[in-house]
Amino acid sequence: MTGTTTPETTLDSRYGDPAATAVPWPEAEARLAEAELFWISTVRPDGRPHVTPLPAVWSDGALHFCTGPEERKARNLAANPQVVLTTGTNTWNQGYDLVVEGEAVRVVDDTRLRELAAAWEAKYGSFWHFEVRDGHFHHGPGHAVVFSVAPRCVFGFGKGEPFSQTRWRFA
């Protein structure tokens, strides 16, 4: 869970309790690694938003996700690679939410894809077993493209006492 850079960490006191403190990046990074479900937000070519849930793997300082090459999110990313991935809890007064902003970059190196396929299976179990060839994940009759999102900016929202908002900016 080691990121490639150390982000600038700030606490925005406008959106939290005066007693709140900034969450250290390693704690946020651990939450990203442990989260099972993320919501990805992309932009359609006509400017309308598209949001859908998906599993993702944190590896080498980036979130990774896969999708069928003809799925809406893959087609959106072909036109605009800017993306937001969110995770957290569906409660107001407890838990912690994370918002990751960045650019989705396609992963095509088979060696790296094998590492990521192993990470998917280790995290999610044998249902998520992928074979790798020709720059794709293969699962049953279909194949998927894999994207990496190195964070440009991450927001963390502590819910419950004390409420907080931490921001991590990456160079």
Residue 4: the pLDDT is 52
Per the document, the length of the chain is 171
Residue 94: the pLDDT is 94
List of the chain residues with pLDDT < 50: 1-3
Bridge-based pairing of strands 131-133 and 96-107 is unpaired
Is residue 103 within 8 Å of 148, Cβ to Cβ?
Answer: no
Residue 3: the pLDDT is 46
Is residue 9 within 8 Å of 150, Cβ to Cβ?
Answer: no
User: Whole-model pTM?
Assistant: 0.94
User: Where exactly are the structural domains of the chain?
Assistant: 8-169
Q: What is the CATH number of domain 8-169?
A: 2.30.110.10
- CA 148 to chain centroid: 8
Residue 128: the pLDDT is 93
Angle at 88 between CA 77 and CA 50, to 5 degrees: 25
91-128 tens-digit pLDDT: 999 999 999 999 999 999 999 999 999 999 999 999 99
Residue 60: the pLDDT is 97
CB neighbour class for 53 (10 Å; exposed up to 12, middle 13-18, buried from 19): exposed
